[in-house]
Structure 1
């Protein structure tokens, strides 16, 4: 049969893996392809316009249909006339929204099944996930399809994928429909908008040097073209003679590159290939998990108001620190699947597809440093960070003068003020009588307006004082209501810190504070990444020591 007479549907056809499947279907000239996705119209990249997809759309061998799988009439319209449906649509797995995932992965999948049964579609191939058997706590080494669905899913995406898969497999044989489910593990490749970009974002933020866990967890990654190839193998198996089709139908299959590798080694190869630092500092997962849980809790509150999906969430920590490798013997035996692109070649193609993410092509960080932001990015920051060296030196001289006249001499306030006024008066008198040039150097006269407080500055000062006062009053009002525990703890901690600082003498404060203020912030700005790295190394070491001590204590208790 010619390709013009046979139609297939790819749901979620503009997704990462689905795009590669669409390209492969067109190149193999197997079917005319109906691409279904949420966007009202298809937008092609320049490469797609000039490639097989662009030509297929122009010739009519492919078309695009905008559809929402949660609307059954739309699903019926999309699937009508199709011989096979590749059901790949799913929300972004990093968005942990139970309502969203259930509506698409379960209700949407049931709509697809019902439409396929009603319209007498011959084959339905579902894109599931290897995570349906993974609880994030117990590692999986060479796991096969005998593993049951986990009772404690990693997240809502995995839970609803498992439910959708169960419905797909249960529908096998209904009104002649043959079904199967593919479980790819950790897809990577050109066009990935999640894994590689998130690694680069972490590297640019100086976080690529850290690894979660001991770094020995084994993983199975799957190059995206192998995922597409697995779908075609599944369709061919289901379309084969009765004995082969019946053996392949109604089953789930793990799909990988069949080349297990340490997760952090694979990550290192990507980062090094793009010119970034290889991860080397190990941070125990248990040390990061409480922070991740707080971040996820905050996201649940503020996510509906536009907060971006955070990278540090519990499900991701578990994925980064546990082993996950799977056996593909069943897919090889029943579907005839074998990877067509080796892992090394897949990595090479992936790295070549991201020239814009390479370290040498990244713009230098813009905006103020962490130290500058901490200091308010104003005159104080310019002074303490030596941005304006003249201003910094003058400030230092003034502070040294204040120290010797007010603090070191242990003078009374009246005596210190008198000395200060005396010095200022003598300086101004001499300065006023100096000629315009002394030994060839021009003497800049201090204008009288320098000592005047302008009306505008007076107004700004008054507003600042009033604003601070009103802010303090608002805090007191909130405390009086007695329902803001977060504010209460902030006030208590602030007052405790203030009382601690108040116990320090002015002399000690100057001796310690001046060198710290004028050296520490400057050094931190110049060596920000190195200092952050040292801090996290110390934190990692501390967590490891705590873990070792805990294990020894628990071990000694068991012996007793």
Structure 2
């Protein structure tokens, strides 16, 4: 059986290409598209580097700096993976996710970029209260967002969708859920901290809630697919319900699991199984989260438990990815169980390297 020929990608600029998701996108581009000239724009360019990739240090909120990078890299595709970590101030999120996205869109349009792929969040449709059961792209953006991060991601996504077909540039937004894997700075490290603190016996809620997680390689793959699909579209193709441009897509592993089953799988891959479980009801967990936040505010220390963490670990939160599988041809490259093993193995290896450095 013949294998479909990939759409060539000649010049791609990955914004945030030294970050968690971004460097996996770069790695996949190099592996799947040897013909591609890959460039990276990031604030810090001294980590997660690859040979034969051009790196440019720049601030995405500076039009002058962005213009300079675009002039040098001459991309036909811009993949914007910039996503500040959770727990930062609202001002930072607006500066990066709104002002930065606007600058990138305007500069890309002016420079004749053909395709723009944006990293959004599945939680742009989450109000922080209502359960999300097999939610698809018809779900509205809530009037009251869960937090500043998702509020600003939703604003950025709207700008990206509105920019579609403006002066010839096609756009796509990818809504990712529960990223984890090698290089992870939040999901897996947070679970390892709980393990180190001896907290694995505690469970918030009854574990009846299903959650969607996404192995980082699969998320990167969706970005490469989106770029291929946009470039493959004829310039004069009419916009229909079957065209991928100007659309948002949920991206997950397509394997929703009970939330605490996933967490325990991570601990098990690290060699730990809790001898017993203490179930803390959701109502008590929420109260404890609020109390922990108050103590953190009084002491100036980041609380270990927050109301948001309680919400995310006790609510129904999984998505329908049929639109992505149908229109983008997305199919996860790595299963959830294999992703857990690979992700934990990477961290174990990193721990060994750090221990060896300390011992020298």
Q: Are the equivalent residues in 2 in contact too, given 1:25–1:31 (CA < 8 A)?
A: yes
The higher-RCO structure (CA 8 Å, 6+ apart) is 2
Provide the C-alpha distance between the structure 1 equivalents of 2:350 and 2:309, rounded to a whole number of angstroms. Answer: 22
Q: 1:248 to 1:344 in 2, by over 3 A?
A: same
Equivalent residue of 2:14, what SS? strand
Q: Are the equivalent residues in 1 in contact too, given 2:254–2:321 (CA < 8 A)?
A: yes
Provide the C-alpha distance between the structure 2 equivalents of 1:78 and 1:315, rounded to a whole number of angstroms. Answer: 37
TM-score (norm. length: structure 2): 0.88
Instruction: Answer yes or no: is 1:249 the counterpart of 2:253.
Output: no
Residue-pair matches, total: 340
Q: 1:181 to 1:270 in 2, by over 3 A?
A: same
- Unaligned 5+ runs, structure 1: 57-61, 363-560
Provide the C-alpha distance between the structure 1 equivalents of 2:99 and 2:122, rounded to a whole number of angstroms. Answer: 20
Q: Are the equivalent residues in 2 in contact too, given 1:244–1:334 (CA < 8 A)?
A: no
The answer to which structure has the higher helix fraction is 1
Q: Are the equivalent residues in 2 in contact too, given 1:110–1:167 (CA < 8 A)?
A: yes
Q: 1:22 to 1:235 in 2, by over 3 A?
A: same
Q: Counterpart in 2 of 1:77?
A: 68
> What's the Cα RMSD here?
2.5
Instruction: Answer yes or no: is 1:33 the counterpart of 2:33.
Output: no
Q: Counterpart in 2 of 1:354?
A: 347
Deviations 1:352-394 (A, max 9, x none): 2122588xx99xxxxxxxxxxxxxxxxxxxxxxxxxxxxxxxx
Instruction: Answer yes or no: is 1:143 the counterpart of 2:135.
Output: yes
Of the three residues 282, 285, 290, the one matched with 1:285 is 282
Q: 1:220 to 1:99 in 2, by over 3 A?
A: same
The answer to which structure has the higher strand fraction is 2
Instruction: Answer yes or no: is 1:192 the counterpart of 2:189.
Output: no
Q: 1:79 to 1:228 in 2, by over 3 A?
A: same
Equivalent residue of 1:249, what SS? coil
- Once the two structures are TM-superposed, the CA of residue 91 in structure 1 deviates from its matched residue by 1.1
- Once the two structures are TM-superposed, the CA of residue 302 in structure 1 deviates from its matched residue by 6.8
Provide the C-alpha distance between the structure 2 equivalents of 1:245 and 1:101, rounded to a whole number of angstroms. Answer: 32
Name the stretch that deviates more: 309-318 or 217-226.
Answer: 309-318
Q: Counterpart in 1 of 2:94?
A: 102
- Once the two structures are TM-superposed, the CA of residue 326 in structure 1 deviates from its matched residue by 0.6
Provide the C-alpha distance between the structure 1 equivalents of 2:159 and 2:292, rounded to a whole number of angstroms. Answer: 34
Provide the C-alpha distance between the structure 2 equivalents of 1:85 and 1:68, rounded to a whole number of angstroms. Answer: 15
Provide the C-alpha distance between the structure 1 equivalents of 2:319 and 2:9, rounded to a whole number of angstroms. Answer: 38
Q: Counterpart in 1 of 2:228?
A: 236
Q: 1:15 to 1:135 in 2, by over 3 A?
A: same
Provide the C-alpha distance between the structure 1 equivalents of 2:232 and 2:66, rounded to a whole number of angstroms. Answer: 27
Equivalent residue of 1:216, what SS? coil
- Unaligned 5+ runs, structure 2: 1-6, 356-360
Q: Are the equivalent residues in 2 in contact too, given 1:4–1:32 (CA < 8 A)?
A: no
Q: 1:244 to 1:293 in 2, by over 3 A?
A: farther
